[in-house]
Amino acid sequence: MPELAKATLLVASNNQGKIQEYGDLLQDLPLRVTWPAREGLAGDPEETGATFEENALIKARYFARLAPCYVIADDSGLEVDALGGAPGIYSARFAGPGASDAQRNQLLLARLQGVPSEKRAARFQCVIALVRPDQSESTYCGTREGCITLEPRGDRGFGYDPVFFVPELGKTFGELEPEIKNRWSHRAQAAARLLAALKSEHFRPS
């Protein structure tokens, strides 16, 4: 088991897009941001929760048992009204094990074939679970409303970003510069609440 200082924040994910976003979103904290593979931490806990919050806590608690530092995990996904809120908590598994982002987007667009633009409302949801070195826990939520495009647009971001259109910006997340996305995304909202909470606790690294 690696010896991680308490002044470390472990992002419980090996998704490099997500890790980069958190590195940017939480750069104001005096923490060294790292991730499991970098620290030799193995494991992929089964996400058996029925909500984003439950799944985020499952992941955060798992890695908090392995690393005595600040641990965050998020569970996030896309909810599409015309699909009854699907794919929801199954967003990453929507097209089956091992599917690529492009394959998930293709399946989503196929499921929405024939659905007019005015009925393609959707939202990204994100819940970040934090486990502190003293094992206390809290969660922080973020939501971004939008709609699903008729075809992918843009090659930035990851996941469903190329098909998620934000009317206020006139662009999909896949078309946004990272610094713009980090002001508008569901993850940015949740991370801002996490950051505010840590600062309000007079966070200082040990």
Tokens representing 16? 């490099």
With beta carbons less than 8 A apart as the criterion, state whether 133 and 64 touch: no
> Nearest-CA neighbor of 190 among 125, 132, 135, 145?
125
CB-count burial class (<10 Å; 0-12, 13-18, 19+) for 200: exposed
Q: Is 8 exposed, middle or buried (0-12, 13-18, 19+ CB in 10 A)?
A: buried
Angle between helices 16-25 and 186-200 (to 10 degrees): 50
Do the beta carbons of residue 190 and residue 126 sit within 8 Å? yes
Tell me if residue 24 is catalytic.
no
Question: Choosing from 24, 44, 74, 75, which is the catalytic residue?
Answer: 75
Q: Looking at the annotation, which residues are catalytic?
A: 75
